[in-house]
Amino acid sequence: MPGSSMSSSKLQAMDLSGFIVSSFHRFTGLKLIFLLAFIFKVLPHAAAYDPLDPTGNITIKWDVMSWTPDGYVAAVTMSNFQMYRNIMSPGWTLGWEWAKKEVIWTMVGAQTTEQGDCSKFKGNTPHCCKKNPTVVDLLPGVPYNQQFSNCCKGGVVASWGQDPSSSVSAFQVSVGLAGTSNKTLKLPKNFTLLGPGPGYTCGPAKVVPSTVFLSPDRRRKTQALMTWNVTCTYSQFLVSRNPTCCVSFSSFYNNTITSCPSCACGCQNKRNCIKPNSKQAHKAGVNTPKKDNTPLLQCTHHMCPIRVHWHVKLNYKDYWRVKIAVTNFNYRLNYTMWTLVAQHPNLNNVTQVFSFDYKPLVPYQSINDTGMFYGMKFYNDLLMEAGPQGNIQSEVLLHKDQNTFTLKHGWAFPRKVYFNGDECMLPPPDTYPILPNSAYVNQRAFSTVAITVFFMVLFIE
């Protein structure tokens, strides 16, 4: 309204708050309980949205390449469009449920973990007769006639931001007892993806325009007979209610080290942890992974598998220097193709990164404050299990913007830190290293200035 003292946004906020209050007044008794239960059921799913990678997902594409007498042959391609979340060893596991009584006659580039009951078939036996097959990638080095393009990597898939050429995994499947045309074929349903553990939620299969393929000489185009997509998104909340990593801080201008918060990753493993200098830490088999991937942690106050330490090392006239160290406290897990993501306003002026590879991430084109660090191939792209070799470190040189740079109020420390795609717990802001209250005074310099001022006053008089 012209002449009104309130903005339209404030009026809308008041209307919204009034609606919520009135709604709670109307929903009484059991209705209110059901409403609250619905809210708490829906809220956790919001964790699937990642503000640093808003469009990140894994897309599984099925391309029907040919029809067979009782079904079809499809090429299944899994593309990891996440910028910094990879699938490391022991790799992905893909599952779904058939819409009818389909079977898998053959597979190339992958295999099902179980064959199921195929006793009703005489002669040729299908590869899998289960209603809900579980598929895994083949290991490297399988015979050539069992390979398919982008297959056979043990299920390991790099993130799109780290290595686009290794962010794809694929296999071929021949399906029987299925539809033999676009009208009679029924799409699989209830897709599941482990990568390698829980965390991914897959949507329903959706028919999309058929994929177009180019010949090797790029002079001829062919297309799939039918294509459908399945999109899977990641939620850290589904993996664990507690973080899987924490962050500690230190600086050259303060002797205090801000450590990770106590029980930052939960203390449920505290009874089974191993003291670093105990005999049990050097016992044979301590580094053998378990089938359920349960961690065996080194005893710490934070009880996190991963700790990231950010140290403000030096302050030059036009530059400043940061040292980053990552330590693995899990005796049973090596991190392959690890990634470290940090959000800081001065990452738009990174001058040099030592012993890590670095790539800026710009999820929002107007803001460049996020970057991804990852290991150099064959040098430090493998973070070893807990022990003397279980750490990696690097230094970062950043150019100062004199208008924004400061060492006050924790500005020199990151706003967010992710390791392998999971957000790490930061220390409370009031515990960050702070500048000392008073600086050292050079008495000789002070005396020289005082004498100079004294003689200037005499000269003026």
Domains of the chain are: 58-238 (2.60.40.290), 245-266+295-431 (2.60.40.290)
Pick from 165, 448, 319, 306: which is nearest to 456 by CA? 448
Predicted confidence (pLDDT) per residue in 311-363, tens digit: 999 999 999 999 999 999 999 999 989 999 999 999 999 999 999 999 999 88
Under DSSP, the state recorded for 282 is G
- 370: Cβ contacts below 8 Å, ≥ 6 apart: 52, 341, 342, 343, 347, 360, 361, 362, 363
Q: What is the pTM of this model?
A: 0.81
Those residues whose C-beta lies under 8 Å from the C-beta of residue 321, and which sit 6 or more positions away, are: 312, 313, 314, 315, 395, 396, 397, 398
Q: What's the rounded Cα separation, in Å, for the pair 429 and 413?
A: 10
pLDDT of residue 123: 85
pLDDT by residue for the chain (461 residues), tens only, comes to 444 334 433 334 344 334 443 443 444 444 433 443 443 343 333 446 788 899 999 999 999 999 999 999 999 999 999 999 999 988 999 999 999 999 999 999 999 999 999 999 988 999 999 999 999 999 999 999 999 999 999 999 999 999 999 999 999 999 999 999 999 999 999 999 999 989 999 999 999 999 999 998 999 999 999 999 999 999 998 888 899 999 999 999 999 999 999 999 998 888 889 888 888 877 877 788 776 678 889 999 999 999 999 999 999 999 999 999 999 999 999 998 999 999 999 999 999 999 999 999 988 877 889 999 999 988 999 999 998 899 999 999 999 998 899 999 999 999 999 999 999 999 999 999 988 864 444 444 444 444 544 444 444 44
pLDDT for position 38? 41
- Count of alpha carbons within 13 angstroms of residue 438, beta-carbon side: 3
pLDDT tens per residue, range 238-255: 888 899 999 999 999 999
Residue 160's SS3 state is coil
Degrees to nearest 5, angle at CA 208 with 64 and 228: 45
> Cis omega (within 30 of 0) on the bond before 90?
yes
